Amino acid sequence: MLKPLYAALLLAGTGAFLGACSQGGEAPAEEGEIDRASGLEITNGRMMLPPVAGNPAAVYFDIAYDGEGETTIASAYVEGAERAELHDMSGAGGMMTMEQMPPLALQPGANASFEPGGKHVMAFDLSPDLVAGGTTEVTLTLANGDKHSFDVPIQSAGDAR
């Protein structure tokens, strides 16, 4: 009599596990929902299109964090891009290099700027729908799985950054 009960519980648990796995790690909220991670405030956001079609775009913004305890930005998603990566610029020996950056830890009261010549989000393989004058949604995923989404205006490569 217990075997059917155990089998039912096992199937229910497997279904829940598979459902959770199929949600994807980077996708933003469902249409109409906006994710807002507690304590994060994003301002001054914008996406700069590349001067050469086919190259990646850059996303810049400012972050203020006033939550409780440390939080960590682990990854980014840009609607209309095949993939997005957190990048940072660094200089050594008079040469600037760009590389993928590790997760960004923020303490309460911290501010960070994603700006030209520093931290930024690179958006690769852009949809032709991303055009200057439009907007797109950026979603930051925190190490704890929380997400924070915000819209950014899209600017042409020649616009002020």
16 part of a folded domain: no
Residues of the chain with pLDDT > 70: what percent? 78
pLDDT confidence bin for 25, thresholds 50/70/90: very low
Per the domain annotation, does 69 fall within a domain?
yes
| pLDDT of residue 16 exceeding 90 | no
Instruction: Report pLDDT digits (tens) over 106-115.
Output: 999 999 999 9
In a domain, 8, yes or no: no
pLDDT at 43: 97
pLDDT band, very low/low/confident/very high, at 28 (cuts 50, 70, 90): very low
In a domain, 21, yes or no: no
Tell me if 77 is assigned to some domain.
yes
Residue 7: inside a domain, yes or no? no
Residue 158, pLDDT score: 78
Quick one: pLDDT at residue 136?
Answer: 98
**Across the chain, what does the average pLDDT equal?**
83
Looking at residue 161, its pLDDT comes to 64
pLDDT digits (tens, 9 = 90+) for 101-157: 999 999 999 999 999 999 999 999 999 999 999 999 999 999 999 999 999 999 999
23 within domain boundaries: no
Q: Is the pLDDT of residue 34 over 70?
A: no
Which residues touch 4 (CB under 8 Å, ≥6 apart)?
Answer: none
* Residue 36 scores a pLDDT above 70: yes
Supply the CATH number for residue 83's domain.
2.60.40.1890
pLDDT at 123: 98
Domain around 116: 29-155
* Residue 141 covered by a domain: yes
Q: How many domains does the chain have?
A: 1
Mean pLDDT on 42-69: 96
